Amino acid sequence: MSMDFCLVMGQINPVVGDVSGNVKKIIKAAKEARDSLNADLVIFPELTLTGYPPEDLLLRPGLQKRVEKGLRKLKKKLKDVAVLVGHPEGVVRDELYNAASLIADGECLGTYYKQHLPNYSVFDEKRYFVEGKDACVIEYKGIKFGITICEDIWFVEPTSQAKDAGAEIILNLNASPFRQGKWQIREAEVKQRALETGLAIVYVNQVGGQDELVFDGCSFVLSANGEKVVRAPAWQEGLFPVTLSHNSNQQLSVSGTLADKETELAMTYQALVTGLRDYVEKNNFSSVVIGLSGGIDSALTLALAVDAIGSERVSTVMMPSQYTAQMSLDDAQEMASGLNVKHSVIAIDSLFEQFLNSLSEQFEGKPVDTAEENIQARVRGTLLMAISNKTGAMVLSTGNKSEMAVGYSTLYGDMAGGYSPLKDVYKTLVYRLSDYRNSLSPVIPKRIITRPPSAELAPDQLDQDSLPPYEILDELLERYIGEDWCFEELVAAGGDMDMVARVIKMVDRNEYKRRQAPPGIRITSRAFGRDRRYPITSGYSVNSTIE
């Protein structure tokens, strides 16, 4: 073999189900790596051919036929460069593996079957795949490569098996979704495997958004002593070379470039931008429309949308009622003008009055309450959906996780929309992200950030009239939702007993709303939807204890 071997991490953004398009992307990337980087081998993410997660598409026999055709095309089209690609593999009927194959010179040199199938949080791979049992070590151009897939790297056995089978280096294909703090956990765990085996490990991760999930890339390489020697940037598709060299003692060394790390807040903001961009692009929406209220949630949503797809594809609508403050109108106009998006104003007073007149018989003798407030929200939702139907622009819902948790939202009103960028963002984080975005360039008017939050559905209304302060609420919600604390634990930690009971009841009784909410980007370890699956009808409550 030559003195140096050029291995390239192919950090790409596949589209779930688009096997043909993904194969073309692999071929293009491999040829570019070969021609511009003199690559010997390009490693792509887990289930590259189908994208991740393909979910119940894996149950369709037609998908596997497309995968097999795609593998044949890779063998035929790729010359003078090898690729390691992830794909489902059906060995016998009703037996499907999460696999990775090394293809070179028109042949498949070997295929590995994933041994550890995650079945927790957002993962349900045991629904589709059976576990592999054996190591796979493939010698190519004088180097013995051990192959593992994603979850395997969290366990000792797959890497130790590969070493025992003669591997000189571990190649790990991943589709590891982003959540706050995840990259540090990944690197710490992979370091353990490197130290246990005394082998360098190449960790290649997918990038891009897929429905609620978003993948940050951040592919990296650790040396045999656990030192990070290569890191790809976050949120970027690209080809990132790694040089492998045998020294005089025939030990394998690795080297490359270390990209800068971003702050956790920057990573989170970019996760929201990436998830929104890919949802719009991969579902072929021409544009988006946002109900801009003059409040902080819709302001941050607008900033995200413009950063994701550009101002020319974003429009906003202000829909004031008699309860809307003039500063809300002014701030919404200022922000829309500053970001150069098309902005319109549709007053809803007359529509609201028509609803009340139509309902006068049914409402007679009953006091004004949330029914009237919800009518206003639903009028706005109807207008936004009408604009969406007529123009093809997708409505972005602007609610945050704190509101979704306690039901401080209106079904078919402010919850209307095709996608909800802030669905997994607590209100306190909304403020931090808004400040972060303004640190890049001032786009959110200061008054939007500093004024007390209000739904403006009733006279002099403030969120804090019916909710605890968000600093307290969000801490309670994170413990109850994210960490599964019970009532007694929350009270023991200093929570007011009555307030804790009220918040828990609000969370539990509003599951029916969350079940009907649009999808949104997952950034925490316990997002509503794929992560947290609770029954709507349930007798489990604060007071249901066994006597």
For the chain, domains (ranges, CATH) are 4-261 (3.60.110.10), 266-462 (3.40.50.620)
Enclosing H/E stretch for 238: strand 238-246
Enclosing H/E stretch for 20: helix 19-37
What pLDDT does 1 receive? 40
Residues 6+ apart with CB under 8 A from 136: 110, 111, 112, 113, 146, 147, 162, 165
* Average pLDDT, integer, range 303-312: 98
Q: How many CB atoms lie within 10 A of CB 530?
A: 17
Beta bridge partners of 316: 290, 343
Per-residue pLDDT reduced to its tens digit, 236-288: 999 999 999 987 677 889 999 999 989 999 999 999 999 999 999 999 999 99
pTM as predicted? 0.93
CA 291 to chain centre: 23
Q: Cα dihedral angle (44, 50, 56, 59), rounded to 10 degrees?
A: -110
Residues 234-262 as b/e (b if ≥16 CB within 10 A, e otherwise) read: bbbbbbbbbebebeeeeebebebeebeeb
CA 72 to chain centre: 32
* Average pLDDT, integer, range 317-325: 91
What pLDDT does 490 receive? 92
Per-residue pLDDT reduced to its tens digit, 375-396: 999 999 999 999 999 999 999 9
Residue 54 tokens read as 């393909």
Per-residue H/E/C for 94-121: CEEEEEEEEEECCEEEEEEECCCCCCCC
Does 542 or 440 have the greater pLDDT score?
Answer: 440
Query: Could you list the active site residues?
Result: 46, 114, 150
User: Counting beta carbons within 10 angstroms of the beta carbon of residue 406, is it exposed (0 to 12), middle (13 to 18) or buried (19 or more)?
Assistant: buried
What pLDDT does 465 receive? 63
Asked if pLDDT for residue 92 goes beyond 70, the answer is no
> Which of 158-162, 228-232, 330-334, 537-541 shows the lowest per-residue confidence on average (mean pLDDT)?
537-541
Angle value at C-alpha 177, between 144 and 55, nearest 5 degrees:
90
Q: How confident is the model at residue 538 (pLDDT cuts 50, 70, 90)?
A: confident
Q: Where would I find the beta strands (DSSP E) of 93-212?
A: 95-104, 107-113, 137-140, 143-149, 169-174, 200-205, 207-210
Which phi-psi region, left, alpha or beta, contains residue 243 (left: φ > 0; alpha: ψ -120 to 50)?
beta
Asked if pLDDT for residue 461 goes beyond 90, the answer is no
Residue 356 tokens read as 């009340």
What pLDDT does 138 receive? 97
Asked if pLDDT for residue 97 goes beyond 70, the answer is yes
* Average pLDDT, integer, range 84-99: 88
CA 530 to chain centre: 11
Residues 6+ apart with CB under 8 A from 450: none
Q: Cα dihedral angle (348, 394, 303, 280), rounded to 10 degrees?
A: 180
Which one, of 439, 437, 468, 463, lies nearest residue 451 by Cα? 463
What pLDDT does 247 receive? 77
Does 289 or 463 have the greater pLDDT score?
Answer: 289
Q: How confident is the model at residue 456 (pLDDT cuts 50, 70, 90)?
A: low
Q: How many CB atoms lie within 10 A of CB 188?
A: 10
What pLDDT does 377 receive? 94
* Average pLDDT, integer, range 64-91: 95
β-bridge pairing 228-231 and 220-222: antiparallel
Q: How many CA atoms lie within 13 A of 29 on its CB side?
A: 28
Residue 150 tokens read as 């994603």
Is the preceding peptide bond at 53 cis, omega within 30 degrees of 0?
Answer: yes
What pLDDT does 195 receive? 95
Angstrom CA distances, 465 to 128, 315, 413, 468, 469, stand at 48, 32, 21, 8, 9
Angle (deg, nearest 10), helices 61-77 and 19-37: 20
> Which of 62-71, 288-297, 323-332, 529-538 shows the lowest per-residue confidence on average (mean pLDDT)?
529-538
Residues counted in the chain: 547
Per-residue pLDDT reduced to its tens digit, 392-433: 999 999 999 999 999 999 999 999 999 999 999 999 999 999
Q: How many CB atoms lie within 10 A of CB 216?
A: 26
